[in-house]
Structure formats: C-alpha cells, structure tokens
Structure 1
Amino acid sequence: MGRRRRGAGAETYYEYRTFTIPRSVSRGDARRLLTDEAEYGRWELARTRVYLGGNRKVWLRRKAMRVESTL
C-alpha cells in the first residue's frame, strides 16, 4: 500500500487509495466524492485515467506516518 519516493533528505512514504467511477456518475458527483475524500481524509489526487467506455479510475495519495518505537 505504501510506496517510497526518494528525494533530498528523508524518505517520504505514501498510502494510495483507488476509486473506479462508472460512466453513469456525473462529473459533479465525482468531483464531490473526491473533494470529500480530500477534505476529510487528507488525500490528494495522484493520477486519473479515463477508459474507452467512459469509466474513470482515480488514484489518491497521502503521506503515511512512519512511527518508530522509542522503547
């Protein structure tokens, strides 16, 4: 579920969540769904793909908290 992205300094880990939105869902409803996820779950849009039939697949990501044991 998590992926690493190497950059300058510390490593950043992301969690990914995938949505498949059928073509019957309007653009406004899809936008509302993604806005709610972004606002309340702290997700950001990572990738969107539109298929020939009109279905949409959306990947959301957020930074994962890496907790190290202090014991």
Structure 2
Amino acid sequence: MVEYSYLDLYFSRDTSREDARRVLTDHAEYGDWELYRLRRYPDGRRHVRLRRKIIRVVRTM
C-alpha cells in the first residue's frame, strides 16, 4: 500500500498567477511534491494540496 504525505498551501486573491506558479514549481523540484488538488474559490482565493510518497525502508535481515 502506498502512503502519501500531504501539504496544504493557501494563496490569497492578491497573489499573482506567476508567484503561485513559482512557489509550486519550487516545491515540485526541490521537495518532490506533486499536485493533488487545486481549488479556486469565487472570491479569488486558491487552496492547493500537494502530495508525495512516503518511502518506508524494510529491513531484509
């Protein structure tokens, strides 16, 4: 069974699309996060949920 770790990010309506893209790109490149869900509310706020796999090491001996 694959387990995931989640990270929630919230952007206000004043955050530009370019700034939000830059933050998400940094998380993807340096933290191995992937986009799981993006919600955009009528007032312009954005809620982004990122996820990444949790790798468990299994002892072989």
Moved over 2 A (4+): 67-71
Deviation, structure 1 residue 36: 0.3
Aligned length: 61
Give aligned-pair identity as a percent. Answer: 52
TM-score by length of 1: 0.79
Residue of structure 2 in register with 1:31 after alignment: 21
- Segments of 5+ residues of structure 2 without an aligned counterpart are none
- Segments of 5+ residues of structure 1 without an aligned counterpart are 1-10
TM-score by length of 2: 0.91
Output the aligned Cα RMSD: 1.3
Q: Deviations over 1:36-63 (max 9, x none)?
A: 0000000000000001110000000000
From 5, 15, 18, the equivalent of 2:8 is 18
